[in-house]
Amino acid sequence: MLGIGDDAAVVEAPRGESGALQWVLAVDTMVETVHFNAATMAEADVGWKALAANVSDIAAMGGVPRHALVSVSVPRAWEPARIRRLYDGLYACAERYGVAVVGGDTTSSPAQLVVAVTVVGTVTAGKAVRRSGAMPGDAVFVTGPIGMAAAGLHFLLAAAGGGEQCVPLAAAEAAGTAALVQAHRRPAPSVRAARMLAARGTVTSLNDVSDGLASEAWEIAESSGVKLALRESQLPLSGSMAAYARRSGIAPLEWMLYGGEDYVLLGTIAAKDAAEAKAALAAEGLPMYMIGTVEEGNAGVELIQEGPHSGWSQAAAKERRVSLAKRGYNHFE
C-alpha cells in the first residue's frame, strides 16, 4: 500500500485463496572481505546475492518471498554509480522472484560495504516446513548441484592473484569455469521447487545450503533427532566442477560437502512420494536429486562410499560408511 518514501512501508495483511496465511521473516547480511571482495564480485552481483540469500531462506520454509527491506552501509569513497549498479543487481533479483523492495536504510561506512536485507514472505497457515520433521525411512534430496559456488570462489581468488580488479566473466569463459563463477555470483534459490514440494504435504524437512551440505545435513539431523545417510555416488556432481577440481588437484567432495553458498535446498520426503515428487518437478524443468535416506539413531550424518578402493580394509571392500564432521563455513573460526 505504501512503499519507499515515508518513515515506514505499509503492506496489506495477506489473505490466502484457500485459508489463512502466516508471515515468514528472515534477514541475512553480506560484508565486504567476508562474503565478497572487489575481485570476486561486481557491485551488481553483491546486490543480487544479498537478496537471493534471503529468498533462499524463505524458500527453505516453503514460503513465498514478498517484500524486502535493504540496509546498505557504503564506504565514503564510493562513486554513486557503484551503488546504482548494486541496486541494478538487487532489483534484477527482486523482479526474478516477484519481491517488492519497500524500504531500507543508508549509512556511510568507514571502510567496507555492508548489505543487510530483510525479507518478508508468506506461507499457508501451519504449513511452514521446519528442519525438525525428518523421519526414519524418508528419502533425502537436494534441488540442485552442490559445490559449484565454492569451486567458483576458488577460481576467482586464484585468478585475482590478490589483486583488486574484479575478475571478468570472460576470463572464466576462457578457463571453462563460467558456470562455477555464475553459481558463486548469481545463486538461483529454489522457490518454485520448494512451493511445489511443500504443497504435496510429504516433505518432512527443508534447509537451504549456505554453509555447506554437511553442515545443513547436521542441522536437520540434530533438530529431527535422526541420522542422515548420504550416498556419495548419488551426490549431484557438476561436470565443470569435477573438471576444475581435477585441474586444481582438489577433491570435488570437499567442495560438495563443505563449500557452501549453493543456495539449493536440502530436504527429506516420505519415501513413498519421492519418485512422484521428482517426476512432478522434472515436468516443470526443476531438478531433484535423491541423495540418501533418513535412519534411526543418534543425530549425525554419514557418507556411504562405494568401493573397492586401495587402502580400504577387506571388510569394507564394497562399501563403507564414514561419519561426516559437523564442519562448514564458520564466521568465527
Ligand X SMILES: Cc1ncc(C[n+]2csc(CCOP(=O)(O)OP(=O)(O)O)c2C)c(N)n1
Ligand Y SMILES: Nc1ncnc2c1ncn2[C@@H]1O[C@H](COP(=O)(O)OP(=O)(O)O)[C@@H](O)[C@H]1O
Annotation: binding site: 7, 28, 35, 57, 87, 104-105, 131, 208, 210-211, 261, 329
Q: Which does 35 bind (CB under 5 to 8 A by kind): Mg ion, ligand Y, ligand X, none?
A: ligand X
Q: Which residue is nearest to ligand X (CB)?
A: 210
- Min. distance of Cβ 261 from ligand Y in angstroms? 11
- Segment 244-263, which members bind ligand X (CB under 6 A)? 260-261
Residues paired with 172 in a beta bridge: none
Q: Which does 40 bind (CB under 5 to 8 A by kind): ligand X, Mg ion, ligand Y, none?
A: ligand X
Burial degree of 331 (CB within 10 A; 0-12, 13-18, 19+): exposed
153 binds ligand X (CB under 6 A): yes
Q: 3-class SS at 164?
A: coil
Applying CB under 5 A, the span of 7-15, 21-29, 129-137, 223-231 interacting with Mg ion comes to 21-29
Q: Residue 187, preceding bond cis, omega within 30 degrees?
A: no
Helix axes 43-59, 178-185, angle to 10 degrees: 70
What separation in angstroms does the CA of 67 have from each of 12, 105, 130, 189? Answer: 11, 15, 21, 16
216 binds Mg ion (CB under 5 A): no
Pick the binder of ligand X from 24, 44, 50, 53 (CB under 6 A).
Answer: 53
CA distance 21 to 41: 37
Q: Which residues are annotated as a binding site for ATP?
A: 87, 104-105, 131, 210
- Segment 21-40, which members bind ligand X (CB under 6 A)? 28, 34-37, 40
Q: Are 225 and 299 a contacting pair, CB within 8 Å?
A: yes
215 binds ligand Y (CB under 6 A): no
| Residues in binding contact with ligand X, number by CB under 6 A | 13
Query: Which positions from 43 to 82 touch Mg ion by CB under 5 A, shown as an x/- string?
Result: --------------x-------------------------
CA distance 226 to 241: 31
Which residues in the chain belong to E strands, given as ranges? 21-31, 64-75, 100-109, 114-124, 139-142, 203-208, 227-231, 265-269, 289-295, 300-306, 319-323
Determine phi and psi for 171, rounding to 5 degrees.
-65, -40
Q: Which residue is nearest to ligand Y (CB)?
A: 210
- Min. distance of Cβ 47 from ligand X in angstroms? 15
Reported residue count of the chain is 333
Using CB under 5 A, list all residues that contact Mg ion: 28, 57, 208, 210-211
Using CB under 6 A, list all residues that contact ligand X: 28, 34-37, 40, 53, 153, 210-211, 260-261, 329
